[in-house]
Amino acid sequence: MAVNSHDVARIAGVSQSTVSRVLNGATNVRPETRDRVLIALENYAPNAHARAMRTNKTGTIGVVASDITNPYFPELLEAIYVAASASTLNIVLWNEHDPTTPAALAGIRSGMVDGVLFTSATLETTAIAQLAAQRVPTVLVNRGLVHPVCDQVTSNNLQIGRLAARYLLAAGITDIGMILGPNHMRAVAERETGFLDELWATGRVEVGRKWISRGQPTFESGFKAVSDVFAGDQLPRAVFCSNDILGYGAISAIRTLGLRVPEDVWVIGVDGLPMSGWEVFDLTTIRQPVEEMARVGLKLLQARINGDASPFLDVQLDTDLVIRGSTARVPSP
């Protein structure tokens, strides 16, 4: 059974950081304090086991992550961890691209966790539906299904597209390109829809087909889009990227072509990653409310774990525009 450091600290009369130091073998702990923590640990396991048998709850939730090599997902996982720690919950983490994912799903079904948060629905849609049908408390965070089978919490992705389009229109830019991730992802499809709807409503915006590129949500894909698709006699005046990582690749490729950002081409991303503020990118971006997403998702999951049987919720959170140098720091309309 997982050790809940909050409970052990309470039993031993010490801080959670002291428990952590003892567990990690740190030498800067007084012998008498170390002994208290070790005694508390010995007493904790049977008490926790008894509590789990009495309540039929483990005090542990599962988190199934997407590609953790994308810097957005460690940020989201950190927010989930902080929210779970505040509720003294333990976390078991699985990576959906890991070959052990089937074992993770088996672990979820076996009852080793009270419920599960999925941070992506792109590869596990069938599994999510199966878990929901088996009444395993399940919540999607950051990704949503068109036809929800459980609670889901995302950013308002239509709003994200609209915010980016309104900003470009207010600056008088009318020739615009897009670099997008896979269109089977609901978030990408809705960002594209919101963006195009806002542009086309003016009746005067050129979004040429040669200026629309689709690929994976990676740096390499953003670089390739500019190098292969946009490298013609005429480039768009601005490029909207469906995530920040694509934006980094686009900026790098634009500079490789001997052009300047933002003097020749503006670039806008989505996510609000800390890296976007680095001087090398200085990327204008639509920031997602990652901490709020984690808090709301965990709150919904706890409600389901405690027996809430109300209709599924599709929560869409507001986002905000962060203006930086990749768009000449033109103020928002």
Domain ranges of the chain: 1-56, 157-288+320-327
Q: What CATH number belongs to 157-288+320-327?
A: 3.40.50.2300
- Which option is the CATH number for 1-56: 3.40.1710.10, 1.10.287.130, 1.10.260.40, 3.40.50.300? 1.10.260.40
Contacts of 246 (CB under 8 A, 6+ apart): 179, 180, 181, 217, 218, 219, 221, 222, 225, 269
**One fold for 1-56 and 157-288+320-327:** no
Which pLDDT score, from 0 to 100, does residue 152 have?
A: 95
Q: Hey, what amino acid is at 181?
A: G
Along the 333 residues of the chain, how does pLDDT read in single tens digits? 455 667 778 888 888 778 777 766 777 888 888 888 878 766 665 555 545 544 567 888 989 887 777 889 889 999 999 999 888 888 888 876 654 456 667 777 777 889 999 887 454 467 787 787 888 899 999 988 888 889 999 999 999 999 999 999 999 998 899 999 998 888 999 999 999 999 988 877 777 667 889 999 999 999 999 988 766 667 789 999 999 999 999 999 999 999 999 999 999 999 999 999 999 999 999 999 999 999 999 999 999 999 999 999 999 999 999 999 999 877 776
Torsion angle (degrees, nearest 10) of CA 201, 269, 125, 100: 170
CA-wise closest residue to 118 among 139, 134, 100: 139
Which pLDDT score, from 0 to 100, does residue 291 have?
A: 96
Which pLDDT score, from 0 to 100, does residue 98 have?
A: 54
Which pLDDT score, from 0 to 100, does residue 121 have?
A: 47
- Provide the β-strand partners of residue 321: 286
d(CA 33, CA 36) in angstroms, rounded, equals 5
Which pLDDT score, from 0 to 100, does residue 101 have?
A: 58
Q: Which two structure tokens, joined as six digits, stand for 102?
A: 């089937």
d(CA 282, CA 278) in angstroms, rounded, equals 6
Segments in the chain forming alpha helices (H): 5-12, 16-23, 31-55, 72-86, 101-110, 125-133, 157-170, 186-200, 219-224, 244-256, 290-305
What single string gives the DSSP state of each residue in 248-269?
HHHHHHHHHTT--TTTT-EEEE
